Amino acid sequence: MKIYQVDAFTDKVFTGNPAAIVPLEKWLSVNVMQQIASENNLSETAFFVKEKDGSFKIRWFTPKTEVDLCGHATLASAHILFSELGFDEDQIRFKSNSGLLRVVRREGLYWMDFPSNSPETIPIPKLLPEALGTIPIYAGVNTDLLVLVQDEELLEKMKPDLLILKKMEVRGVIVTAPSKSEGIDFVSRFFAPAIGVPEDPVTGSAHTVLTPFWSKRLGKKNMVARQVSTRGGIIYCEQKGDRVELGGHAVTYLMGTISI
């Protein structure tokens, strides 16, 4: 099998979020796909198979489990189809456990069309201030727990207690703040120790929650976000009713072959 490694939400290697991409002729067993993802030891490995109608069925695995949605590995998969595998149509359609996802190339970016996942406001969980080292301004939940803190500097310096976060009954914890940088609307970090990802470098799926949250808060439909992990990355966000569009660059780092 061919395997590719792509740095997503960036235009240069060694930044953004790396994902492994494995195009398949037919599906492997879940156990084998999970073993490949564990061997890759990246936050996500994506597998896809072409369907008879020209779309692609896509599945995503962390080193520990399968997940229903992953933005950066979808972006990376589209990049491989467009740049390495000769896909020459305007739009890629991915069928997933989260429904139909579309990716187009526009204005030098890959744009992904995802469901909008507005968070539901909840009381701040009891152990959250201890886990983050600060008292949050806001907490909301969708698939993930969304937490708003005071400013970007506090977010950048944060060293959360991952053992406490792992006990939260959510996939992951998104921590966000307003940006202090010109041209950037908001910043975030994403922690998901419960699914084997202590901190994800750049998280597309988290921005399906962040986009409607900040769109309402800022009164804007189009925004630019930065994930302030060590590697970092830029996500272009557009709120479109019950959908969000997320745009970004991607670059191929590795091409190889898996033998099992």
Q: Are residues 106 and 148 in the same domain?
A: no
Residues 141 and 49 both lie in one domain? no
How far does Cα 85 stand from its chain's mean position?
A: 23
Rounded Cα distance, 132 and 146, in Å: 12
Low-confidence ranges of the chain (pLDDT < 50): none
Do 108 and 168 share a domain, yes or no? no
Question: Are 171 and 154 a contacting pair, CB within 8 Å?
Answer: no
Residues 165 and 94 placed together within one structural domain of the fold: no
Buried b (16+ CB within 10 A) or exposed e, 87-109: beeeebbbbbebeebbbbbeeeb
Residues found in the chain: 260
Q: Which residues does 74 contact at the CB level (< 8 Å), separation at least 6?
A: 46, 58, 60, 94, 101, 103, 112, 204
- Same domain (yes/no): 237, 124: yes
Please tell me whether residue 72 adopts helix, strand or coil conformation.
helix
* Same domain membership, residue 136 and residue 236: yes
Other C-beta atoms closer than 10 Å to the C-beta of 29 total: 8
- Looking at residue 196, its pLDDT comes to 86
61 and 149, same domain (yes or no): no
Instruction: Give me the pLDDT at residue 235, please.
Output: 96
Give the number of domains in the chain. Answer: 2
| pLDDT at res. 109 | 94
Are 167 and 219 members of one domain? yes
Query: Residue 99 is part of a domain; what is its CATH number?
Result: 3.10.310.10
The predicted structure's pLDDT at residue 32: 98
Residues 230 and 155 both lie in one domain: yes
Distance between CA atoms of residues 154 and 136, nearest Å: 11
Per-residue pLDDT tens digits for 218-238 = 999 999 999 999 999 999 999
Q: Is residue 162 helix, strand or coil? A: helix
28/98 same-domain check: yes
Whole domain around residue 9: which residue ranges?
Answer: 2-112+246-257
So what's the pLDDT on residue 74?
A: 95
H or E element: which one contains 46?
A: strand 45-50
- 209 plus 140 within the same structural domain: yes
Give catalytic residues, as residue numbers. 44
171-229 residue pLDDT tens: 999 999 999 999 999 999 999 999 888 999 999 999 999 999 999 999 999 999 999 99
Q: Which tokens sit at 137?
A: 């301004």
* 124 and 16, same domain (yes or no): no
The answer to whether 68 and 97 are in contact (CB under 8 A) is yes
